Chains A and B, each alone.
Chain A
Amino acid sequence: MRLTDQPAYLLHRRAHGERSLLAELWTRDHGRLPAIARQARGGGGERVAALAPFNPLLVGLSGRGEVLTLSAWEVDGSPNLLRGATALAGMYVNELLARLLARGDALPKLYASYQRLLQRMASEPRVDWPLRWFEKQLLDELGYGLQLGLTADGISVEPDGHYRVDLEHGVRTTTAEGGFAGSVLLSLAQIEQEMPTPAVCNQQRKLMRALFLALLGGKPLTTWEWSQALPSRAS
């Protein structure tokens, strides 16, 4: 495989020897690909600074085996500077993508959504709304799009009703306490257009977490556990 000027983001990196990195890349046209980047660590400078999470990159890749060689990279446009709680939220999204995206499976529409997510996170005062919006895009693109306005029996979801949601059966009415309010589901269906209140967004976060946990085979994300350790919860 030989790719040149391929748009990509770095999802994760770990040290590989003294000066090299093992980079987990998400390329626009070829999906997630691991690659070794030589001379990419330590000392700073344009080359080292460029290969960082959230930067829109143009990369050159070559090689045949499981792990490719990252032969060239540069920032394409302006770097996305995520700071503080937003950097933490960005790391959560990258962990989710690294765990859920299949190697070599291109999802160009989701890639465009990720670009928009990063721009929104860097510029909007509230980070929870763009996060919930992206999580919904991710479910849709992975083929688990939910019909949130209707139950599995074809009955309209009522704002005051209580519902259970799972990936297999969709939305079902429940009488038990602990289900999600219909208003939370209806707001999620409209998340592209309307900003939910922080309280509703928090309920949607719990719903999404339950759905993703099922997709992750019951093994939770590390970043979910981190947020418990924060004195004030971040996302």
Chain B
Amino acid sequence: MAADALEELIESLKLLPGVGRKTAQRMAFALLEGERLPAQRLSRALAAAAERIRRCSRCRNYCEDQLCAICRNPQRSAEILCVVESPADLHALEQATGYGGRYFVLHGRLSPLDGVGPAELGLTLLADLLADHPVSEVIVATNPTVEGEATAHFITEIATAGGAQVTRLAHGIPVGGELEYVDRQTLAHAFGGRLKV
């Protein structure tokens, strides 16, 4: 049933973000060309990832062991905790900043009609974590959207109850941007949050 296997491959590739039928087809044919080494390598990598990668028991970041590399690293400060919506956000912060504390990954944001609430975001685990290992600062790095704002409120309540100081990422004008082209909401936030120099 070669045709079915090809169709299944195309349909599976379509599950990837940004991949439509045409791109999936191109990918499938590329993988099946010649000796099929790339296809076998990809298949092994996918199987290994699906089997071995899980969530860190402390911060919910992806890892292969009980604890992720960041939580295990003794050089990282246990005094500061940065709460992000996704592993991709964690990665972006790691690349862009010299942050030396730990993280907590929500894997989403509050969304009532999609059934995503505090339990799905691991907020009970966060409350337990802050009770067992109190920190001096919790950085709330949820997205500047209504859902991110509501999520931030929840985290703030939990962190404050745990005795931590809570900070949020600043909203502002993009570097290299010009005021007249900045959208009204960002400009209003940037103006309201102006800093003393």
Contacts of A195 in B (CB 8 A): none
Most buried by A among B18, B123, B149, B154: B149
Are A84 and B153 in contact (CB-based, < 8 A)? yes
Contacts of A95 in B (CB 8 A): 112-113
> In which size bucket is the chain B interface?
20 to 34
A-B contact count, CB below 8 Å? 83
Does B75 sit within 8 A of A, measured CB to CB? no
Known: A75-B184, A229-B118. A85 touches B153 (CB 8 A): yes
Cross-interface CB contact of B184 among A44, A79, A82, A90, cutoff 8 Å: A79
Are A98 and B149 in contact (CB-based, < 8 A)? no
Per-residue interface assignment for chain A, residues 42 to 61, with 1 indicating a CB less than 8 Å from any chain B CB and 0 otherwise: 00111001101110000000
Are A226 and B149 in contact (CB-based, < 8 A)? no
* A234-B157 Cα distance, complex, nearest whole Å: 10
* A234-B158 Cα distance, complex, nearest whole Å: 13
- Cβ distance A123 to chain B, nearest Cβ, rounded Å: 15
Cross-interface CB contact of A49 among B17, B153, B186, cutoff 8 Å: B186
Q: Which residues of B contact A (CB under 8 A)?
A: 17-18, 110-115, 117-119, 123-124, 145-147, 149-150, 152-154, 156-158, 160-161, 183-186, 188
| 27 A-B pairs in the complex with CB atoms less than 8 angstroms apart | A14-B111, A14-B113, A14-B114, A44-B183, A46-B183, A49-B186, A79-B185, A82-B146, A82-B149, A84-B149, A84-B156, A85-B153, A87-B149, A88-B150, A88-B153, A90-B146, A91-B146, A91-B147, A91-B150, A95-B113, A222-B113, A222-B115, A223-B112, A226-B110, A226-B112, A231-B160, A234-B153
